[in-house]
């Protein structure tokens, strides 16, 4: 079954201890699709400027990703520049030029409206609400957000939270959203705010799945050399939701495997800049790392 | 098979967000023994002052712990005072009165010298070396240390590291010891410095076992309310080594289960001040949490 993702398409300039990449392809919608396409067809809604070279996303179009919903507006494509600290956990944003993304009003093409799986990437919660209005009968709606919206558009964010089935957040985000810094208390509070399923991203410490079935702890894959963490969260969500879109049921076993698939795809993504690594892998290589993680957690 | 532990016996005064405990029993040797005794007999070597009330450790003596090696010296017992921050991850030391511990020269009683399992708790590496001289044919020697010795007695510490089979350290300690802040690179470097088995404690993020068999990721047990983290590391080591002392082999499966037993015992320990919680539990309750963790990591 196909997945709809609504998010950003960007040109990123990134500096990490491993090197530099200037004006390379990025954005939540693309990182998500590049990851999810290994498992299910993806429909993308986003906006680009007149400067955008569609040839650069041809590799997605060739492989399970429908880009009909990516519209071109007057102006330039969204640009982000960032520099990671030596620990790779922290980064400084050098610039954010929203450009065409500033007035982005997602329009969901007719043939996307029957999508059963929806990923609301990190965009204005008002737009996230608009998107949900257009979807007929989603089976699973998943939300991402960030500190900017948590502090700036809390009321709208609360309204979206009520309408989603799952939220994928990092630790700081759930602490900020709940005002509670005990992970398990915060998870309980957040699940009462709407999403019955919560996935907490802890970076190199892995992730936690919290649902009515209790907790599941997934490790991070031991990446020998992290080159560029950009897109880790979105490729994690892509692998996770991609796998779920292929499940007939959405039971606890499916959810846990989905978290691990997300982990694995994200682990590849961070091994190079932009989409360099996600262009090279295949489902077999994903399965290999999944089995490695299974062996590394069994006792 | 019995375990020898050499470490501190202390009176602690601890303040945490949950409350205060003044002049309560503490110290690495006692936390270790209180945890390990659920699995194997423990022989303790340590020192106390004239003010020490042996009645307070009667519960250990009654249950698998031999205290013949705890000697009484002129002076007062080691005292430590600390205050935890609201996140419970950080703490300030309010005072450290080494007292009799300052001139501690561990003497290993004759009947302890055949111990096959040895835990060198966090003491001066010179003393750790002395202890090893007295042990006839240890099967497994495990080391703990801290930043103070890493920066202050590096040469001596390097010498002990060469003689131990396993080190149990936290992330900061292995980064400081290796000068490398990538966990996996640091683990490889550290294992070349001596210990063929390395256990990395990551607090609420669980632990990592690194050996010639690769990595094992163990989660932390989801404790609903952490009351006092004091002794978490030593009770973790106690559960871990205690379990190993009962294994006929020391294979990868044993090591992994040992890490989880350590995790479980430490999870009980932090639920109350001092030894209050470790006085209440039993092997059955430990097994229950182990099985819970198994369910929370399976996929």
Query: Does the pLDDT at position A232 exceed 90?
Result: yes
Locate A51 and state its tokens: 């400067």
d(C-alpha B237, C-alpha B231), whole Å: 10
Nearest CB to A184: which of B87, B218, B222? B222
Q: Determine the angle formed by the axes of helices B154-161 and B125-134, rounding to 10 degrees.
A: 30
Pair A189, A210: CB distance under 8 Å: no
In this structure, the strands spanning B42-48 and B65-72 are: parallel
Pair B7, B32: CB distance under 8 Å: yes
Interface pTM, i.e. ipTM: 0.93
Q: Which of residues 254-283 of B touch A (CB under 8 A)?
A: 256-257, 259-260
Give phi and psi for A108, each to the nearest 5. -90, 110
| Cβ neighbour number for residue B23 with a 10 Å cutoff | 15
* CB within 8 Å: A299 and B214: no
Is residue A216 less than 8 Å (CB to CB) from chain B? yes
* CB within 8 Å: B299 and A259: yes
Coil, helix or strand at residue B222: coil
d(C-alpha B240, C-alpha B255), whole Å: 8
Q: How far is B213 from chain A (nearest CA, A)?
A: 10
Per-residue confidence (pLDDT) for residue A233, from 0 to 100: 98
Per-residue confidence (pLDDT) for residue A198, from 0 to 100: 98
Coil, helix or strand at residue B188: helix
Per-residue confidence (pLDDT) for residue A87, from 0 to 100: 85
- Residues of B whose CB is below 8 A from A298: 256
* CB within 8 Å: B298 and A222: no
Nearest CB to A297: which of B86, B217, B253? B217
Locate A111 and state its tokens: 């043939």
d(C-alpha B156, C-alpha B158), whole Å: 5
* CB within 8 Å: B299 and A298: no
* CB within 8 Å: B217 and A216: no
Pair A51, A77: CB distance under 8 Å: yes
Handedness of CA B150, B152, B156, B160 (dihedral sign): negative
* CB within 8 Å: A181 and B87: yes
Q: How much is the mean pLDDT over chain A? A: 97
pTM metric for this prediction: 0.95
What's the first-to-final CA gap in chain A, in angstroms?
A: 35
Q: What is the pLDDT along chain B (299 residues), one digit of tens a residue?
A: 899 999 999 999 999 999 999 999 999 999 999 999 999 999 999 999 999 999 999 999 999 999 999 999 999 999 999 999 998 889 999 999 999 999 999 999 999 999 999 999 999 999 999 999 999 999 999 999 999 999 999 999 999 999 999 999 999 999 999 999 899 999 999 999 999 999 999 999 999 999 999 999 999 999 989 999 999 999 999 999 999 999 988 999 999 999 999 999 999 999 999 999 999 999 999 999 999 999 999 99
Per-residue confidence (pLDDT) for residue B54, from 0 to 100: 96
- Residues of B whose CB is below 8 A from A270: none
* CB within 8 Å: A299 and B260: yes
Pair B123, B8: CB distance under 8 Å: yes
Q: Measured at the alpha carbon of residue A157, what is the angle toward residues A153 and A161, in degrees to the nearest 5?
A: 170
Pair B185, B177: CB distance under 8 Å: no
Per-residue confidence (pLDDT) for residue A89, from 0 to 100: 85
Query: What domains appear along chain B, each with residue ranges and CATH number?
Result: 3-297 (3.40.1190.20)
d(C-alpha A250, C-alpha A237), whole Å: 16
Question: How confident is the model over A44-53, as a mean pLDDT?
Answer: 98
d(C-alpha A264, C-alpha A293), whole Å: 9
SS (H, E, C) chain A: CCEEEECCCEEEEEEECCEEEEEEEECHHHHHHHHHCCCCCEEEEEEECCCCCHHHHHHHHCCCEEEEEEEECCCCCEEEEEEECCCCCCEEEEEEECHHHHHCCCCCCHHHCCCCEEEECCCCHHHHHHHHHHCCCCCEEEECCCHHHHHHCHHHHHHHHHHCCEEEEEHHHHHHHHCCCCHHHHHHHHHHCCCCEEEEECHHHCEEEEECCEEEEECCCCCCCCCCCCCHHHHHHHHHHHHHHCCCCCCHHHHHHHHHHHHHHHHHHCCCCCCCCCCCCCHHHHHHHHHHHHHCCCC
* CB within 8 Å: A206 and B205: yes
Q: How far is A245 from chain B (nearest CA, A)?
A: 18
Nearest CB to B299: which of A86, A225, A294? A294
Is residue B56 less than 8 Å (CB to CB) from chain A? no
Q: Measured at the alpha carbon of residue B272, what is the angle toward residues B54 and B228, in degrees to the nearest 5?
A: 100
Position with higher pLDDT, A33 vs A249: A33
Per-residue confidence (pLDDT) for residue B1, from 0 to 100: 86
Question: How confident is the model over A4-26, as a mean pLDDT?
Answer: 98
Nearest CB to B215: which of A182, A206, A296? A296
Q: Burial-class residue B155 by CB neighbours within 10 Å (0-12, 13-18, 19+).
A: exposed
Nearest CB to B222: which of A87, A215, A219? A215
- Residue position matching structure tokens 């060739």: A62
Q: How far is A147 from chain B (nearest CA, A)?
A: 20
* CB within 8 Å: B296 and A184: no
- Residues of B whose CB is below 8 A from A184: 222, 224
Nearest to B25 by CA among B54, B5, B46, B50: B54
Q: Which of residues 144-203 of B touch A (CB under 8 A)?
A: 181-185, 202
- Residues of B whose CB is below 8 A from A225: 182
Cα B69 to chain centroid distance, Å, stands at: 18
Query: Does the pLDDT at position A1 exceed 90?
Result: no
Coil, helix or strand at residue B223: coil
Pair B195, B164: CB distance under 8 Å: yes
């Amino acid at each position: 079954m196909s997945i709809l993702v609504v998010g950003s398409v960007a040109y990123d300039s990134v500096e990490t201890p491993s090197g530099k990449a200037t004006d390379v392809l990025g954005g939540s919608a693309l990182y998500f699709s590049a990851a999810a396409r290994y498992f299910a067809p993806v429909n993308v809604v986003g906006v680009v400027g007149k400067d955008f070279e569609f040839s650069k996303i041809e590799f997605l179009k060739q492989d399970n990703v429908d880009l009909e919903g990516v519209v071109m507006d007057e102006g330039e494509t969204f640009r982000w520049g960032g520099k990671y600290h030596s620990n790779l956990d922290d980064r400084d944003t050098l610039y954010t030029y929203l450009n065409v993304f500033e007035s982005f009003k997602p329009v969901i093409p007719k043939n996307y409206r029957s999508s059963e799986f929806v990923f609301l990437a990190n965009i204005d919660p008002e737009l996230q609400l608009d998107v949900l209005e257009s979807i007929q009968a989603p089976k699973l709606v998943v939300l991402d957000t960030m500190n900017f919206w948590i502090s700036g558009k809390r009321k709208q964010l609360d309204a979206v939270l009520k309408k989603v089935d799952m939220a994928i957040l990092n630790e700081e985000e759930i602490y900020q959203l709940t005002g509670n810094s005990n992970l398990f208390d915060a998870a309980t509070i957040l699940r009462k705010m709407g999403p019955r399923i919560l996935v907490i991203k802890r970076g190199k410490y892995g992730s936690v799945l919290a649902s009515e079935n209790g907790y599941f702890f997934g490790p991070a894959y031991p990446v020998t050399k992290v080159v560029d963490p950009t897109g880790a969260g979105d490729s994690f969500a892509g692998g996770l939701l991609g796998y779920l879109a292929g499940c007939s049921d959405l039971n606890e076993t499916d959810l846990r495997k989905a978290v691990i698939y997300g982990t694995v795809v994200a682990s590849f993504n961070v091994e190079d800049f932009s989409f360099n690594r996600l262009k090279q892998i295949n489902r077999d290589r994903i399965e290999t790392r999944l089995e490695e993680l299974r062996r590394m957690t069994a006792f």
